[in-house]
Structure 1
Amino acid sequence: MKNPPKPTQLITKEFAKQLNANYNKKKGTTLTTAKGVKKEDANAVWYSLEALESYIHYIKTNGAQEGYNVDGIRFYFGVYPDDEKHGEKAGLTTLFLVPTGKKIEDNTAKVQSFALVAEPASVDIQSLDPMNYGNIGRPPSLVY
């Protein structure tokens, strides 16, 4: 079996360690809740390959059914509401995934133009559900 091509966005382990150390130093991983309790915040989120593959299948299939060419996933940082409903995650950082893409246009009735037109940027596909609830691990703060 032939090895797949190496992705172009890879970084060195050393640079990854530097990025993680910078995050831990500049963003801090300790927070104080509304009740004055100090908590260690998450600095990493883990999703299983199975969960990611399932989500990719979901967004590609449902995006196509809704007329989108799904072309990526945008990762957003968030913070859980600081209430009892969210239990131990209350007030902690999270990472959620949102599919991106472009609406597929029906070109059958259009007259072909030779003018250069900028291709529209990928947008968040609001009609598909975002994915959340990765595992922040125990303890929440990890060091790469």
Structure 2
Amino acid sequence: MKNPPAKPNQLITKEFAKQLNVNYNNKKAASLTGKRAKKEDANAVWYSLEALESYIHYIKTHGAQDGYNVDGIRFYFGVYPDDEQHGEKAGLTTLFLVPTGKKVEDSTAQVQSFAKIQESAPADIQSLDPMNYGNIGRPPSLIY
């Protein structure tokens, strides 16, 4: 490989990832005791690289068209409504993605506001659709 990618600075150890997963599973299991524990909840969500790359392309392209400097993706936890419409996913945990960024007024303002963009936390971009419907870990739950 001529130019290998730089190692991301947000990487964690496999051991810490395992600890986080065990903590989540234990906490989630404790919160689902009693009548609510009808079925085992999802504890992992999988998206294909193709789906993620397509979503990134979508938010960059449409975000720019809407006048945004798209700078990231926020991952939200959610729970599907407990109704027939959502079938086997009803009442289960999900993870959905929302693009973040800053509104840019014009091309000259973009250069001048670059420092301001970096200073504040990115906001969710409401004009772009979130992404959901990854494949969730099915019982038995996936363990990292």
SS at match of 2:86: helix
The one-letter amino acid of 1:83's match is D
Query: TM-score normalised to the size of structure 1?
Result: 0.85
SS at match of 2:46: coil
Q: 2:70 maps to what in 1? A: 70
- Cα contact 2:43–2:137 (8 A) shared by 1: no
Q: Per-residue deviation at 1:107?
A: 7.0
Unaligned segments of structure 2, at least 5 residues: none
Which has the larger displacement, 82-91 or 119-128?
A: 119-128
Which has the larger displacement, 75-84 or 36-45?
A: 36-45
Q: Per-residue deviation at 1:140?
A: 5.9
Q: Per-residue deviation at 1:122?
A: 1.2
- Cα contact 2:42–2:138 (8 A) shared by 1: no
In the alignment, the residues of structure 1 paired with residue 79 and residue 141 of structure 2 have an alpha-carbon distance, to the nearest angstrom, of 15
1:38-85 CA-partner distances (Å, limit 9, x unpaired): 100001100000000000000000000000000000000000000000
Q: 1:99 maps to what in 2? A: 99
1:80-111 CA-partner distances (Å, limit 9, x unpaired): 000000000000000000000000123759xx
Unaligned segments of structure 1, at least 5 residues: none
| Larger Rg over CA atoms | 1
RMSD: 2.6
Q: Is 2:1 aligned against 1:4? A: no
The one-letter amino acid of 1:64's match is A
Which has the larger displacement, 126-135 or 100-109?
A: 100-109
Between structures 1 and 2, the one with greater helix share: 2
SS at match of 1:75: strand
- Cα contact 1:77–1:93 (8 A) shared by 2: yes
Residue-pair matches, total: 138
Query: TM-score normalised to the size of structure 2?
Result: 0.85
- Aligned 1:1-144 pairs, distance under 5 A: 1=1, 2-28=3-29, 31=32, 38-106=38-106, 119-139=119-139, 141-144=141-144
Question: In structure 2, do the counterparts of structure 1 residues 105 and 79 end up closer, same or farther at CA, with 3 Å as the change threshold?
Answer: same
In the alignment, the residues of structure 1 paired with residue 52 and residue 80 of structure 2 have an alpha-carbon distance, to the nearest angstrom, of 21
In the alignment, the residues of structure 2 paired with residue 55 and residue 117 of structure 1 have an alpha-carbon distance, to the nearest angstrom, of 26
The one-letter amino acid of 2:136's match is I
- Cα contact 1:59–1:128 (8 A) shared by 2: yes
